[in-house]
Amino acid sequence: MADKHHSLVRQTYLPYGKQWIDDDDIQAVIDVLKSDYLTTGPAVERFEKAFSQYVDAKYAVAFSNGTAALHGACFVAGIEPGDEVITTPMTFVASANCVLYQGGKPVFADINQRTYNIDVEKVKQLITPKTRAVIPVDFTGQPCDLDELLSIAKQHNLVVIEDAAHALGATYKDRKVGSISDMTMFSLHPVKHMTTGEGGIITTNNKDYYEKLVQFRSHGITRERSKLLHDHGPWYYEMQHLGFNYRMTDIQAALGLSQLKKVEQFIKIRKKYVSIYNEAFRGWREFVSPFQALDRQSSWHLYVIRLNLEALTGSRKEVFEALQHENIGVNVHYIPVYYQPYYQELGYQKGLCPNAEEVYEAIITLPLFPAMSERDVQDVITAVKKIISLYSR
Ligand SMILES: *Cc1c(COP(=O)(O)O)cnc(C)c1O
Annotate 117-151 with DSSP letters as a single string.
Answer: SBPHHHHHHH--TTEEEEE-B-GGG----HHHHHH
**C-alpha of residue 136 to centroid of ligand 1, in Å:** 13
Residue ranges of E strands in the chain: 59-63, 84-87, 105-108, 131-135, 159-163, 171-172, 175-176, 183-187, 200-204, 221-222, 238-239, 287-288, 296-297, 303-307, 363-366
Q: Whose CA is nearest to atom 7 of ligand 1?
A: 66
- If you measure from the C-alpha of residue 103 to the centroid of ligand 1, how many angstroms do you get, rounded to a whole number? 20
Pair 316, 335: CB distance under 8 Å:
no
- For residue 227, count other CB atoms closer than 10 A to its CB: 11
Cα dihedral 141/145/147/153 (nearest 10): -110
> Measured between alpha carbons, how far is 387 from 53 in angstroms, rounded to an integer?
45
Give the residue, by CA position, lying nearest to ligand 1 atom 15. 165
344 three-state secondary structure: helix
Distance 228 CA to ligand 1 centre (A): 34
Q: What is the DSSP letter of 218?
A: B
Give the architecture (CATH level 2) of 23-260. Answer: 3-Layer(aba) Sandwich (3.40)
Question: What φ, ψ does residue 186 adopt, rounded to 5°?
Answer: -120, 140
Q: How far, in Å, is the centroid of ligand 1 from the Cα of 163?
A: 8
One-letter amino acid of 260 = L
Cβ < 6 A, ligand 1 pocket: 65-67, 91-92, 94-95, 137, 163, 165-166, 187, 189, 200
| pLDDT attached to residue 6 | 59
- CATH value of 2-18+263-391 in 3.30.750.24, 3.30.70.980, 3.20.20.80, 3.90.1150.10: 3.90.1150.10
- Taking CA atoms, 322 is separated from 9, 142, 195, 264, 329, in Å, by 11, 28, 31, 34, 11
Ligand 1 atom closest to the Cα of residue 69 is: 9
Atom of ligand 1 nearest to the CA of 139: 13
Ligand 1 center–CA 140 separation, angstroms: 12
H-type alpha helices, 160-262: 207-217, 250-260
Provide the residue ranges of all domains of the chain, joining segments of one domain with +. 2-18+263-391, 23-260
Q: Tens of pLDDT along the chain (393 residues)?
A: 444 455 899 999 999 999 999 999 999 999 999 999 999 999 999 999 999 999 999 999 999 999 999 999 999 999 999 999 999 999 999 999 999 999 999 999 999 999 999 999 999 999 999 999 999 999 999 999 999 999 999 999 999 999 999 999 999 999 999 999 999 999 999 999 999 999 999 999 999 999 999 999 999 999 999 999 999 999 999 999 999 999 999 999 999 999 999 999 999 999 999 999 999 999 999 999 999 999 999 999 999 999 999 999 999 999 999 999 999 999 999 999 999 999 999 999 999 999 999 999 999 999 999 999 999 999 999 999 999 999 999
Taking the whole predicted model, whether its pTM rises above 0.95 is answered as yes
* Contact between residue 87 and residue 134 where contact means Cβ atoms under 8 Å apart: yes
Whole-number Å distance, alpha carbon 233 to ligand 1 midpoint, is 41
Q: How many angstroms is it from 393 CA to the middle of ligand 1?
A: 37
Mutate to test the pocket of ligand 1, among 135, 163, 252, 335 (most ligand atoms within 8 A of CB): 163
Please tell me what DSSP assigns to residue 26: H
Ligand 1 atom index nearest CA of 200: 7
Mutate which of 64, 70, 95, 99 for ligand 1? The one with the most ligand atoms within 8 Å of its CB, which is 95
CA of 187 to the centre of ligand 1 (A): 5
CA gap 67, 341 in Å, rounded: 20
Q: What is the amino acid identity at position 144?
A: C
Please identify, by atom number, the ligand 1 atom nearest to the C-alpha of residue 192. 1
